[in-house]
Amino acid sequence: MTAPHQLSAFEAAKKLQTHELSATALVQSCLARIEAREPVLHAFAHLDAEGALAQARALDAGPVRGLLHGLPLGIKDLFDTAQFRTTYGSKVYAQHRPALTAASVTLCQEAGAVLMGKTVTTEFAYFTPGPTANPHNPAHTPGGSSSGSAASVGDTMLPLSLGTQTAGSIIRPAAYCGVVGYKPSLGKVTGAGVKSLSYTLDVVGGFGRSVQDVGLLGAALSGDMRLMPSTPEPARLKVGMFATPWWSEVTPDTVSAWELATKKLASHQLSDVQAPTGFEQLMGLQKAVMGFEMARALSYERVIFGAQLSARLNELLSEGMATSGEQHAHNLGNVAQWRARMDALFGDNDVLITPSAQGEAPQGLAATGDPMFCRVWSLMGLPCVHLPFARGALGLPVGLQVVGRFGQDHLLLQAAAQLHQDLLA
């Protein structure tokens, strides 16, 4: 018999809406799983078991609240929460308690979600990791920066969790932890109350165990009911297979997943997509934009608490401050020109399939992997969904990401649901 914590968010939501399952029973099941696994995975920066149970009992005593009624939710520790400490993954904020809660968290709670606590993030969502381990092998990284959010969903501690992406912080940990990660179009979800790193790049999204799960979460966050899950209707999609200019960096595990995908998706119209001239420069452009904006967004921390920041973050902030405002304005002009060209990259394809990461999660917890296959899509503000469907040589998850046109998140999720179903068949 399936334990409640093993249900996907979409499956659990249906049972909760019809009172076949109580919020209290689901939270208790998740807490039991957390108790068993948290000493190994360290996914939580703060867990509020008593508060979660109180929320669940209150939900059970009243009418169905909304789309996320009774669903336990993890909150990346980059989101302000008045009810929990918010550290942004830094000892500078070890005792920080915000006065207000991030709008996205409040929207989820308004929709009936049970706030379980805060999940571990890397230091200010950059590269210095927290203690979280990979749920499939704790000797390997879960990825970052949304480390605890991805790991908690991947280990069935939680059905849903919130994350953010500035470079690759949703898609990469989703790939390493074997879950579905959804990075919405830039601006689709409000970032109010989330620690700002880059006004050009920051996006709020999240994790589930199916495309339907993240569609449910996306609908609650954005108010766009077109994102709501539906049963995939068989259709022949036009899919562009875009290996990118960095294909030489993938491991044999990703090559195998790519080859498997072309076989599994043979019923669709697949075509190879070539990178336009100059596309390879976009990775460096993303780094420059992110560095400039993070250095200024974290000015207080840089000036007042620089000695308490990691060497790697200080290096980025120094590089960012060395970039002039004039150069940044020029860079943003280039970004705007490339964003205007993105429709042409798709051609007549409905979506693109491209690598999410180089391969399986790297061994060790001292680093979180390279976001190279996510940077361009973050720079372009395009919606992305990671689909897990394979295993690598070490038995760790491997998958690919599906990329949609800007603002067409509902079409991306519809296509991703069908493609994931075919990939898992």
- C-alpha to C-alpha distance for 177 and 320, rounded to whole angstroms: 31
Give yes or no for residue 232 having a pLDDT over 80: no
What pLDDT is attached to residue 231?
75
- C-alpha to C-alpha distance for 294 and 79, rounded to whole angstroms: 16
To which CATH superfamily is domain 1-425 assigned? Amidase signature (AS) domain (3.90.1300.10)
- Tally of CB atoms within 10 A around 199: 11
**pLDDT tens-digit map of 380-418:** 999 999 999 999 999 999 999 999 999 999 999 999 999
- C-alpha to C-alpha distance for 70 and 117, rounded to whole angstroms: 15
Per the structure block, which two tokens stand in for 14? 């249906």
What pLDDT is attached to residue 275?
98
DSSP summary character for residue 401? E
Give yes or no for residue 99 having a pLDDT over 80: yes
**pLDDT tens-digit map of 293-344:** 999 999 999 999 999 999 999 999 999 999 999 999 999 999 999 999 999 9
- Amino acid code (one letter) for 136: H
- The answer to whether residues 220 and 67 touch, using CB atoms and an 8 Å cutoff, is yes
| For residues 358-368, average pLDDT | 98
Q: By C-alpha distance, which of 3, 103, 16, 121 is closest to 68?
A: 16
Question: How far separated are the first and last CA of the chain, in Å rounded?
Answer: 23
Q: By C-alpha distance, which of 199, 210, 23 is closest to 109?
A: 23
Per the structure block, which two tokens stand in for 324? 């002039």
**pLDDT tens-digit map of 139-158:** 999 999 999 999 999 999 99
- The answer to whether residues 363 and 348 touch, using CB atoms and an 8 Å cutoff, is no
| For residues 163-190, average pLDDT | 99
What pLDDT is attached to residue 234?
79
pLDDT classification of 29: cutoffs 50, 70, 90: very high
Give yes or no for residue 73 having a pLDDT over 80: yes
Query: For the chain, what percent of residues have pLDDT higher than 70?
Result: 100
Question: In Å, how far from its chain's centre is CA 329?
Answer: 28
**pLDDT tens-digit map of 193-228:** 999 999 999 999 999 999 999 999 999 999 999 999
pLDDT classification of 246: cutoffs 50, 70, 90: very high
What pLDDT is attached to residue 196?
98
**Alpha helices for 178-245 (secondary structure H):** 211-222
- The answer to whether residues 210 and 321 touch, using CB atoms and an 8 Å cutoff, is no
| For residues 32-47, average pLDDT | 98
What pLDDT is attached to residue 319?
98
Catalytic positions, written as ranges = 76, 145, 169
Mean pLDDT for all residues in the chain: 98
Strand partners, 162: 75, 206
**pLDDT tens-digit map of 54-66:** 999 999 999 999 9
- C-alpha to C-alpha distance for 301 and 285, rounded to whole angstroms: 25
- C-alpha to C-alpha distance for 345 and 261, rounded to whole angstroms: 21
Sketch the domain layout of the chain as residue ranges.
1-425
What pLDDT is attached to residue 235?
86
Q: By C-alpha distance, which of 129, 131, 122, 127 is closest to 40?
A: 131
